[in-house]
Structure 1
Amino acid sequence: MESVASAIKRLADLAALPHISRLSAAFAAAGHELALVGGPVRDAFIGRQLNDLDFATSAVPDEILAVVKPLADVHWDIGRAFGTIGARIDGHTVEITTYRTDAYDGETRKPLVEFGDSLEGDLVRRDFTINAMALRLPELVLVDPSGGLDDLLAGRITTPGAPEESFGDDPLRMLRAARFTSQLGFTVAEPTRAAMAALAAQISIVSVERISDELSKLLRTPRPRVGLELLDVTGIAALVLPEFPALRLEIDEHHHHKDVYEHSLTVLDQVIELEASRSHPESPDLVLRMAALLHDIGKPSTKRTEPGGVVTFHHHDVVGAKMVAKRLKALRFDKQFIADVARLVELHLRFFGYTEGAWTDSAVRRYVRDAGPLLERLHILVRADVTTRNRRKADRLSFAYDDLEDRIAALSEQEELAAIRPDLDGEQIMQTLGIRPGREVGEAYRFLLELRLDEGALGTEEATARLRAWWASRA
């Protein structure tokens, strides 16, 4: 946490930047108020990078445009209905919004936008006190009508007014509260937490797209576990991602010290650690983190108690992949995202066969082929899936996966393993067999691909001979 003096200095330095200085001077000259609001003011006090600058003003949209046009490289008014004008000044993007006093009807999640007449009135309508602070420009006066600075210093998340009223206005704020606990490391105040539990059902009036966007932001935070646990205990998770809290009911036969719920959160924690240690280029990787959280959701529906009391979850990987695809489709994630997460869930158990017996080169090739472009993510997920407290067992699994990765690397040097194809392409198959495009070409291609996986590269001459022999045997 920055000291108040150093935070104000950071904000003053920001206000002194040429494009912001020009902007604030222009609004003052036109007789309008201007203030830096929300996240940047909050972040100045907690030492975070100051990005995404938002401004509030007493000017209405037409007046904002009149001030901004002479300064801007380009401007746009796509948010005019909400009082927002965007512009690029000296290469920097800014958004300026007229003071607002939104009202909600309690049945939909869209506010009835009304312009306000004071900065204080604009701030108290915001979601949390820590986001309800502003810096007047060019005076550099901190405006904090709801005690946001005190809550920042205490690491506390609460609403400017009664939380029941705030969440009733926009229930998505409950998901945002969970995200801020994970993003900032703060704690939700008890009255605010109680209101989340009491109003959880109100999340149903929020659009699916807004919910999935907020869940995505939560999973990308440094510690998503904290926010996910908050959503669980308040009952919100059961409404937006019901398969997650359902895991609490199941005991994992591989990890007797943890239920599947705790195991899944631990896997998520370890995925995040491995992302950093392996310099994963996509970090924070939403595909990987979603797969980590949901990799075992097939267990509740596949649980069986065998003779002797042994609990099994046969084929929970395949069942889980289908459940993941269904849930993510309902949340309206894009098709590629859904396919990638489901594929990782489907493949996450494949490695454990490696510890039961030596894999042939053919099996290693199939592992790589089936993972395709998800291979690095699969490496991380499989390693993170080991949460046993038995050090000897953990080391054995780690050493086994080290060996598998070494074999993949060695084979990759010999043969472009990540892009395995038969030695003959479709045109060569048709020319060799004297056939036209159709089902038989596909069958021949698959025959050659299996040869390639089993025996490695054969070369054109040997592959041609094998293909002719296979074709003759079919006849």
Structure 2
Amino acid sequence: MTSSHESRGEQATDTSEEALAQLVRAQNTISGLAPVLVDLVAAFDAAGHALYLVGGSVRDALLGRLGNDLDFTTPARPDVVKELLDAQCEVVWDTGIEYGTVSAQHRGQQIEITTFRSDLYDGDSRNPEVTFGDTLEGDLVRRDFTINAMAVRLTMVDGELASEFHDSAGGLADLSRRVLDTPGTPEQSFNDDPLRMLRAARFVSQLEFSVAKRVQDAMTDMAGQISRITAERVHVELNKLIGGADPSAGIDLLVETGLGAIVLPEVGALKMTEDEHKQHKDVYRHSLQVMRQAIDQEDPEQGPDLVLRWAALLHDIGKPDTKELKEGGGVSFHHHEVVGAKLARKRLKELKFSKSDVSDISQLVFLHMRFHGYGEGAWSDSAVRRYVADAGDLLPRLHKLVRADSTTRNPKKAGRLQRTYDDLEKRIAEIAEKEDLARVRPDLDGDEIMRILDLRPGPDVGRAWSFLKELRLEHGPLEREEATRLLREWWAGEQA
């Protein structure tokens, strides 16, 4: 791979061993894509249009993590791009053509080709006036970060795929140093599109990079600009952040710059709340540690569990509103799980999370303290059933959340908590061997209830069903005759 470096001073000519290794890695990755790309590149060559792999695809090739989505840029106008793709690809769609983007599926790869852009922003929204450009450098300089402002020109030379690396913004040097910086001034970049501030925090999490000081300063000064971004877009970026390799670092950046006070104020508020165990600087640090420990329990083959991660981060957000000083010192947070669940529901709804995610995350927050009653005395089988029934499908996640919530530095206390929870899981397994704990339902269904009590569909059937479910939770499975007898007795009492 040949290289073309321009501007950004010494950083643009980085020849460190790390940078050279990344270039070799990218060359090998791109060469491996030759069977996919040669016909496409040849078509653009024949039409007289340059084709560049660009942005995140170049970054990921340098990092050795390129996936199945390939981003390209070209001076060719969108109608020409569509015509070329129609002739080469199995499926082509042009839903983004007004913004200069045409997408396709080609030999198992998702391809997106965008015409050079030199957009103009009005400073009020993040939607630019789309203007097509004529130079690669003009296209690259408008991008969010230098690590996303690199390109690789692809051409065919003597029947072989050839590549030339372009790095006018110094992205390779920043990639080698694992630093996020902007091609131009961060103030201009963030004024053009405030969402880029959240993208900075997301990349800190996903790539485990740090941000340049001038970038963090601009984020701090311009945090209020994030109000120009819709809740839906904020939600998408936060989910990507939470699903990253180090979400705690991304959350930290949001809180430190003041962005967190706008998009996740309940999390930043935890910095003001003392941990009752005095084992952490504050409940905020405890919550980040709980999230890390929850992540440690994930199944790597299943990928990030966003519901578990969000529940871990938010599990103590009810503490600031329930803080009480104890006589003789210390603090308490009675019923913080109840308050926290309400706050979680409110925040997640405002961020446009799905109904199922709002329900699941807030329910985990609500239930995370339930286990601690188990350590104060043996639970009856009924209490174990209720714990399982209230958790429902969330039980595996609840197990992980409760275990992650132990952040004490006292090894004896930590061991005791884990052994106690081991005992509860053993109890659950023992009861589950005898009855179907996964689906605790009444011993009689709705049709049977209506027949036995001579009822028509209505609220009375629901009340009877609830009564039988309480019996089931309290006593376990009942014989049909016994359930029928108790139902009749209950109904007679209701009619008295």
TM-score, normalised relative to structure 1: 0.96
- Structure 2 CA distance, aligned partners of 1:303 and 1:92? 53
| 1:41 and 2:61 correspond | no
Q: What residue is the counterpart of 2:213 in the other structure?
A: 190
Q: Is the 8 A contact 1:86 1:95 kept in 2?
A: yes
Matches of 2:173 and 2:486 in 1, distance apart? 77
Q: Unaligned 5+ residue runs, structure 2?
A: 1-17, 156-161
Equivalents in 2 of 1:119, 1:7: separation in Å?
A: 23
Matches within 5 A, 1:331-410: 331-410=351-430
Q: Aligned residue for 2:78?
A: 61
Q: Which residue of 1 aligns with 2:257?
A: 234
Q: Is the Cα contact below 8 Å between 1:255 and 1:387 reproduced in 2? A: no
Q: Which 5+ residue runs of structure 1 have no aligned equivalent?
A: none
User: Is residue 77–residue 84 contact of structure 1 (8 Å, CA) maintained in 2?
Assistant: yes
Partners of 2:85 and 2:65 in 1: CA distance: 28
Within-5 A mapping of 1:310-321: 310-321=330-341
**Alignment partner, residue 86 of structure 1:** 103
- Alpha-carbon distance in 1 for matches of 2:116, 2:56: 16
* Counterpart AA for 2:397: R
Give the aligned partner of residue 158 of structure 1. Answer: 181
Aligned ranges for residues 54-133 of structure 1 at < 5 Å? Answer: 54-133=71-150
Deviation of 1:310 after TM superposition, in Å, equals: 3.9
* Rounded Cα–Cα distance in structure 2 between residues aligned with 1:10 and 1:204: 43
Distance 2:418 2:277 in 1: 16
| Post-superposition offset of 1:60 | 0.5
SS in 2 for 1:333: coil
Change (3 A) 1:398 1:295: same
Partner of 1:134: 151
Take 1:191 and 1:91, find their aligned partners in 2: how far apart are those partners? 41
TM-superposed CA distance for 1:252, in Å, is 2.1
Deviation (angstroms), 1:5? 4.7
SS at match of 2:423: helix
Q: How many residues align?
A: 471
Specify the code of the residue in structure 1 equivalent to 2:101.
Answer: T
Residue number among 180, 186, 201 corresponding to 2:203 in the alignment = 180
SS in 1 for 2:152: strand
- Tell me if 1:252 matches 2:275: yes
Tell me the alpha carbon deviations over residues 295-334 of structure 1, each in whole angstroms, 9 at most, x when there is no partner. Answer: 1111111111233334211111111111111111111111
Equivalence for 2:347: 327
Structure 2 residue 462 is the aligned partner of structure 1 residue 462: no
- In structure 1, the residue matched to 2:469 is 449
Supply the distance in 2 between the matched residues of 1:56 and 1:245 (Cα, whole angstroms).
40
Query: 1:27-84 CA deviation, whole Å, 9 max, x = no partner?
Result: 1101111011111211122222333201111111111112111112121110011100
Rate the CA distance shift 1:258–1:280 in 2: closer, same or farther, 3 A: farther
How far residue 24 of structure 1 moved from its aligned partner, in angstroms, is: 0.7
SS at 2:129's partner residue? coil
Aligned letter for 1:361? D
Counterpart amino acid of residue 384 in structure 2: V
Note the C-alpha offset of 1:195. Answer: 1.1
- What is the CA–CA distance in structure 2 between the aligned matches of 1:280 and 1:57, rounded to whole Å? 37
Question: Quick check: 1:13 aligned with 2:36?
Answer: no
Cα deviation code 1:322-347 (max 9, x no counterpart):
11111111111111111111111110
1:419 paired residue number? 439
Q: Describe the superposition over 1:247-289 as per-residue Cα deviations: whole angstroms up to 9, x where unpaired.
A: 000112134444111110110110110114xx684x3011111
For 2:186, the aligned partner's letter is: P
Partner of 1:267: 290
Question: Match of 1:246, SS?
Answer: helix
